Chain A
Amino acid sequence: MSVRTLTINNIPVAVEEGKTILEAAKEADIHIPTLCHLDGVSDVGACRLCLVEVENINKLLPACVTQVTEEMVVHTNTPKLQEYRRMAVELIFAEGNHVCAICVANGNCELQDAAIQVGMDHTRFPYRFPERGVDVSHPQFGIDHNRCILCTRCVRVCDEIEGAHVWDVAQRGENCYIASGLSQPWGEVDACTSCGKCVDACPTGAIFRQGTTSAEKERDRAKLEFVVNARSKQEWTR
């Protein structure tokens, strides 16, 4: 397999052909913020947090879905990128109804972490306060669309790891939402195996275990990686 050489933040990096900039950066111990990326499932470039600058390309590229090329010169933390990332997080906050104080994921939330990482102390955009619902028709789990950032991790874990494809994205633009089944109440979707992988995958408190109250959400993220490794590499231990 051929190798590609490139520089990330002026550090020379050599990775296998076909790897993404995000993977290359990880190998070189260079941190790029992400929200929609989840180890073990495919990437979709939904959150735009991993945008990077590539010299001689006149637009910002999402590191998670951009493959490395020979002699690529990548910058991951320029002032322009810092500003764009902060704006992306601010827009996510302004778009939904994120009330950390009463959220199950408070203190254990990747959106909160991202906000801290990008230095967001407030949002410069007016909050939209959209009217969104909560679906607690499933006997064990619930989805609060107010807290959903449309990262589609749940869609991907359910489809690619569990193979049930309960979740998908419905509507377009500002009306976009995560739909269960044929946009039915979750509790009525026969395909759901109640495995709980979507709860573990969700970066915020949007998908949660019923009965959990503020700051009680716990995720078993390692379980996802374990299932993927067990299947692909026949590794049965955690």
Chain B
Amino acid sequence: MTKKIVIDPVTRIEGHAKISIYLNDAGEVDDARFHVVEYRGFEKFCEGRPFTEMAGITARICGICPVSHLLASAKTGDKILAVKIPATAEKLRRLMNLGQITQSHALSFFHLSSPDWLLGWDSDPAQRNLFGLIAADPDLARAGIRLRQFGQTVIELLGAKKIHAAWAVPGGVRSPLSAGGVAWIRERLPESRATVKMALDLFKNLMGSLTTEIEQFGQFPSLFMGLVGKNGLWEHYGGHIRFTDSEGNIVADGLSEDYYQDYLGEAVEKWSYLKFPYYKPLGYPDGIYRVGPLARVNICSSFGTSEANKELQEFRERAGGVATSSFFYHYARLLEILAALERIEQLIDDPDITSQRVRGNAGINQLEGIGVSEAPRGTLFHHYQVDENGLIQKVNLIIATGQNNLAMNKTVAQIAKHYIQGTEITEGMLNRVEAGIRAFDPCLSCSTHAAGQMPLHVQLVGADGSVLNEVYWN
């Protein structure tokens, strides 16, 4: 009889989702699907609001990466005002995004994912979390938490709040950076760099024991998309869109966000609230592409900073050129934290960083705007249409996690096929399926579930829909 295994909810991710694993008559995995089961409706209820509010509203989409929405929205607002923002405002926005990348990646690496490989895939699920990590390796856990705190404090120094600071606005930012803020960042940078170096050493040492995971966790060819700067440098705020393939060939380059609809399509499936974007020239679902740390590291020519460049070279040697396993997302995240810290250092050394000229004013000069920014999880597009008074008529948000949707589905199917065999299904097997999703660090909602334990609920469902067996892990 055909069976279905449901993992609901998926734990240690941001938001609510479930995974269905479909077994055929022989008990082998036929397919697996990653469902996002929460509906948010932001695109709809933003209609009718003044566009100047959009940064504040859309930041509320997420408690982990509010900065990403803030920046993409403010950039969209800049386009509606048709202004070039003050130079310092751009530097400060970049600084906040780098703080955001640091804190979000630290959260994904230390708090959410490291328990899997540091405590063991099959270890007691009651302990396989941040608290278990604190008990097992308090120094590492503390360093990880402090690294995240560093990123969060950079955000707070700029926007007065760690979470949901409505600080970036159309035309620039609301407040400058103080000299005290610069001093704090400078003082804490060495510790943060030491932590990421330690994590890199730890991960590289572990890689020898993770060869199966590297092979099975979403190892497949796909396109990679992200922003790159001048000469293909790693980018997180400006620049242009680049697509590369699994051989490292540039498929498309110099693309502008203004024409994203020419190269990105969005498909919808009945079983998920998350849309399925794809690269239009290749169609759906062949136009599968990945975004986020792995993509950014794969598409860039270099990081443009010395330490991160050295690590990038080693990363490419270890991955054998282009990293096609989704497991390398974790590794790429550490590289990006290092690059972010180096760029933060460059920014705070810039004497212009404390300039008071940070906000430009203008009226409504364009009725449509498209903004793009690199969120920790990948490229984020905001697209607004406004009426002549600036009230929102239409909103389209293309979020990073959505763009990884096809790849996440492919990853869970690959892992399920490899690890789930026979009728006995262990928690450790299912944890690996979940971990496939965690590699992408998907951001499914506005709130963090990093602290606290969510129960794992697995259902075996017959072809007729009847529940054959149920297991709970609390």
Complex contact A213–B48 (CB within 8 A): no
Q: A102-B56, A133-B48 are in contact. Are A213 and B174 (CB under 8 A)?
A: yes
- Which residues of the partner chain A approach B171 to less than 8 Å between Cβ atoms? 211
Report the Cα distance A215→B55, complex, angstroms. Answer: 13
The verdict on B53 contacting chain A, using a C-beta distance below 8 Å, is yes
Report the Cα distance A211→B60, complex, angstroms. Answer: 19
Output the residue of A102, A139, A212 with the most chain B CB within 10 A: A102
Q: How far is the CB of A216 from chain B (nearest CB, A)?
A: 7
Contact with A along B156-193 (1 / 0, CB 8 A): 00000000101001110010000000000000000000
Report the Cα distance A213→B52, complex, angstroms. Answer: 6
Q: Is the interface of B mostly helix, strand, loop or mixed?
A: loop
* A136 CB contact (under 8 Å) in B55, B169, B390: B390
Contact with B along A138-152 (1 / 0, CB 8 A): 010010000000000
Complex contact A210–B166 (CB within 8 A): no
Complex contact A213–B390 (CB within 8 A): no
The verdict on A57 contacting chain B, using a C-beta distance below 8 Å, is no
Q: A136-B390, A137-B389 are in contact. Are A213 and B60 (CB under 8 A)?
A: no
- Which residues of the partner chain B approach A211 to less than 8 Å between Cβ atoms? 52, 169-171, 361
Complex contact A101–B60 (CB within 8 A): yes
CB closest residue in chain A, given B50: A136
Q: How far is the CB of B359 from chain A (nearest CB, A)?
A: 9
The verdict on A214 contacting chain B, using a C-beta distance below 8 Å, is yes
Give the size of the chain A interface in residues (CB under 8 angstroms). Answer: 16
Q: A210-B50, A211-B361, A213-B166 are in contact. Are A136 and B56 (CB under 8 A)?
A: no
Contact with A along B100-117 (1 / 0, CB 8 A): 000000000000000000
Q: Is the interface of A mostly helix, strand, loop or mixed?
A: loop
Report the Cα distance A210→B50, complex, angstroms. Answer: 9
CB closest residue in chain B, given A131: B48
Contact with B along A183-219 (1 / 0, CB 8 A): 0000100000000000000000000001111111000
- Which residues of the partner chain B approach A139 to less than 8 Å between Cβ atoms? 363
- Which residues of the partner chain B approach A230 to less than 8 Å between Cβ atoms? none
Q: How far is the CB of B110 from chain A (nearest CB, A)?
A: 29
Report the Cα distance A137→B390, complex, angstroms. Answer: 9
Complex contact A136–B57 (CB within 8 A): no
Contact with A along B39-56 (1 / 0, CB 8 A): 000000000111011011
Complex contact A102–B361 (CB within 8 A): no
- On B, residues with C-beta under 8 Å from A are 48-50, 52-53, 55-57, 60, 164, 166, 169-171, 174, 361, 363, 389-391
23 sample A-B contacts, Cβ–Cβ < 8 Å, listed by A number: A101-B56, A101-B60, A102-B56, A102-B57, A102-B60, A102-B166, A134-B48, A134-B49, A134-B50, A134-B391, A136-B50, A136-B389, A136-B390, A137-B389, A142-B50, A210-B50, A211-B52, A211-B171, A211-B361, A213-B52, A213-B53, A214-B53, A214-B166
Top-10 shortest CB links A-B = A214-B56, A214-B166, A102-B56, A136-B389, A102-B57, A213-B169, A213-B166, A137-B389, A213-B56, A136-B50
